[in-house]
Amino acid sequence: MSANRNEVVRKMAELMRSGATMLDKSCPLCGAPLFKLRSGEIICPIHGPVRIVKSESEAVEILADAVLDELEDFAARRIHEILTSLKSGNSSNEEYSLRTLMLWLQVLKYARVIKASSQKD
């Protein structure tokens, strides 16, 4: 979830123009200033709608969810890369690539299992 600085500034200007007000709170995920829309919705210029956390434990929970999303995304990209190199025959060490692939699959699997179990309660 990396947005470049210019993009963020542009998005903030857009929010201001639409009548949103900048709050003295920052996004728990990226630290960008939060905005309140006319509708009352709280928005991060990078992440979109944001929940204002009531406690530290809630903040940790939200951060953990974001980390799992990031991990899932990263593992999927690595798997795709390894698979692409294996399919093209460019892999210099097929056995090593396959072992790495299996490790990333495990990472992906656990990220999903943890996410699914935390969403249940």
Q: Is 73 or 94 the residue whose CB approaches Zn ion more closely?
A: 73
Q: Is 1 or 113 the residue whose CB approaches Zn ion more closely?
A: 1
Residues in touch with Zn ion (CB under 5 A): 27, 29-30, 32, 44, 46-47
Q: In angstroms, give the least distance from the CB of 32 to Zn ion.
A: 5
Q: Is 11 or 91 the residue whose CB approaches Zn ion more closely?
A: 11
Q: Is 75 left (phi over 0), alpha (psi -120 to 50) or beta?
A: alpha
Q: In angstroms, give the least distance from the CB of 50 to Zn ion.
A: 7
Which helix (H) or strand (E) covers residue 38, if one does?
Answer: none
Q: In angstroms, give the least distance from the CB of 76 to Zn ion.
A: 22
Whether residue 81 contacts residue 101, with contact meaning beta carbons closer than 8 Å, is answered with no
Q: How far is CA 13 from CA 8, 17, 19, 103, 113, in A?
A: 9, 6, 10, 43, 39
Q: Is 35 or 104 the residue whose CB approaches Zn ion more closely?
A: 35
Q: In angstroms, give the least distance from the CB of 48 to Zn ion.
A: 8
Q: How many CB atoms lie within 10 A of CB 82?
A: 21
- 42 vs 112: CA distance, rounded Å: 28
